Structure 1
Amino acid sequence: MTLSSILEAIILGVVEGLTEFIPVSSTGHLLLASHFLGFESDGSFEILIQFGAILALLAVYAEKLWRIAMAVPTDKQARHFVIGVLVAFLPAVVCGVLLEHTMKEYLFKVPVVCYALIAGGLVLLAIDEFKIEKRYTNCYVLPLPAYLKIGIIQCLSMIPGVSRSGSTIVGGMLVGLDKRSAAEFSFFLAMPTMLGAFVYEFAKSYKTMSFENLGLTAIGFVTAFISGLFVVRSLLDFVSKRGFALFGWWRILVGVIGLAAYYTVG
């Protein structure tokens, strides 16, 4: 390990942890950061540091998940919510299996990411201003068709730069959730979605993974976990007070800078 490679691992770990659960696209930010840092990986680094972010989410929500699990046998609302999360997760499974190869072949490119970041930023700015009727004040009681609609909208996040959390939050608001509840549901839906994607990618890639740079992976994993903890613990209060405009402007700024850098320095 060199000092520069250690710094790159720290930067990418922080990028993963900070962007995984906010509506700015962790995949897009990691792709851009890796490209402009010149960081090369066989894929194992990105897969394993994402697991750090997953563990951060599970650590913060462990108590709440335990309460829901214990209530499932006796509480109709708890059962309804668990089924709703699974219903919302299903479209991602179908789209992931059917479209993964095509998406990676044609869309995992810097210009695509930048344009998706800009478009998503404009959507966030618009959704933050629109006076959408708020019919639900928590994410536990949505009708099953509403959960399905959120899951279908989440499939847009297969396009790098769109953002899994961003598409889920927008979907939640469109079916009538308030901002805080939409953001919280994005956390719950992230659990099966991210774990499923992690297991799927790891199962496909573990035989070809190189663990020669295990130290760098460990650094990225830890920094992703720590920065992910910070985001999960603070995001709901932030969006309740400030909304999503900051994330929208950030996406547009990163997209414009990324395009300028790509077309000038490559």
Structure 2
Amino acid sequence: MSDLLAALLLGIIEGLTEFLPVSSTGHLLIAQHWLGARSDFFNIVIQAGAILAITLVFRQRLWALGTGLHEPANRDYAMKIVAAFLVTALVGLPVRLAGWELPDAVTPIAWALILGGIWMLLAEHFAERRGGDGVNVTWTIAIAVGLAQVLAGVFPGTSRSATTIFIAMLLGLSRRSAAAEFAFLVGIPTMFAASGYAFLELWLDDGLSGEAWDDVAVAFVAATITGFLVVKWLLGYIKQHRFTGFAIYRIALGALILLFMPGS
């Protein structure tokens, strides 16, 4: 397989899995096991494509929030997005500097997939038992989502989207579409900041040389287009369906990894 085709496939995998609650880290690690490992810069760029995709999906919502800050409801929602981001930044940066992160290895990610799938099943069950309209984001939810993003960063394979969506649902944002929207909107500044910080680290360490720029460009475009289509589909899907299918998929994938790729 050519390097360009491998880059295209990796970009598509990133776009498919970044915002689905299935762990993009786990899928990319497995894919790169077969398609060849890529540089940190390559991984940053394809994640940037996914960030661009979700920004495009929510462009109207973001514009409405930005231009409607004079309205109390918009101002309150925007402040909670900022609060969640600041919690992630203030807690996550010291955690990153301290090096508190599990390695991107196959076995721990497989277990994270399995345990995360079980967590999703339980969280959705208990969230639905709470009842209520489940559409109002509280300050507790905002802070918890910020902390959940840190947790997802420390434990690769847990999935940022799964961790944030289900913590929001457990704390009262039981309507799936409302929980997903808030989690995704918080993810935009968080992922931009994380990618920018990682890029700055690479640049200062002179880690940008020797890149195959055509591969990077193809993967970026693929991640952007695929991510856009996936998020649009997911937002429609969860209005009528539970997350059960994603949870079962995670558990099955984790089990297959442990069975066929032990010690990788």
Alignment partner, residue 34 of structure 1: 32
Shift of residue 137, structure 1, vs aligned partner: 4.1
Q: 1:1-266 alignment to 2 at 5 Å?
A: 3-37=1-35, 39-72=36-69, 74-100=70-96, 102-104=99-101, 106-130=102-126, 131-138=128-135, 141-158=136-153, 159-177=155-173, 178-206=175-203, 207-263=206-262, 266=264
Q: Deviations over 1:30-77 (max 9, x none)?
A: 12221233x2223111001111111111111112211110111x1111
Q: What residue ranges of structure 1 are gaps of 5+ in the alignment? A: none
Shift of residue 136, structure 1, vs aligned partner: 4.5
Shift of residue 95, structure 1, vs aligned partner: 3.5
What amino acid does structure 1 have at the position aligned with 2:142? Y
Shift of residue 119, structure 1, vs aligned partner: 0.3
Q: Secondary structure at the match of 2:137?
A: coil
> Are the equivalent residues in 1 in contact too, given 2:7–2:218 (CA < 8 A)?
yes
Measured on the aligned residues, the alpha-carbon RMSD in Å equals 1.7
What amino acid does structure 2 have at the position aligned with 1:54? I
Over the matched positions of the two proteins, sequence identity in percent amounts to: 35
Q: Measure, in 2, the Cα distance between the counterparts of 1:261 and 1:6.
A: 27
Aligned residues: 258
Deviates more, 1:157-166 or 1:6-15: 6-15
Q: Measure, in 2, the Cα distance between the counterparts of 1:222 and 1:144.
A: 36
Shift of residue 168, structure 1, vs aligned partner: 0.7
> Are the equivalent residues in 2 in contact too, given 1:42–1:209 (CA < 8 A)?
no
Q: What residue ranges of structure 2 are gaps of 5+ in the alignment? A: none
> TM-score by structure 2 length?
0.91
> Are the equivalent residues in 2 in contact too, given 1:16–1:30 (CA < 8 A)?
yes
> Are the equivalent residues in 2 in contact too, given 1:21–1:232 (CA < 8 A)?
yes
Q: Measure, in 2, the Cα distance between the counterparts of 1:197 and 1:127.
A: 27
Q: Deviations over 1:96-154 (max 9, x none)?
A: 322225344x432111111001100111122233333244443xx42222211222223
Off by >6 Å, runs of 4+ in structure 1: none
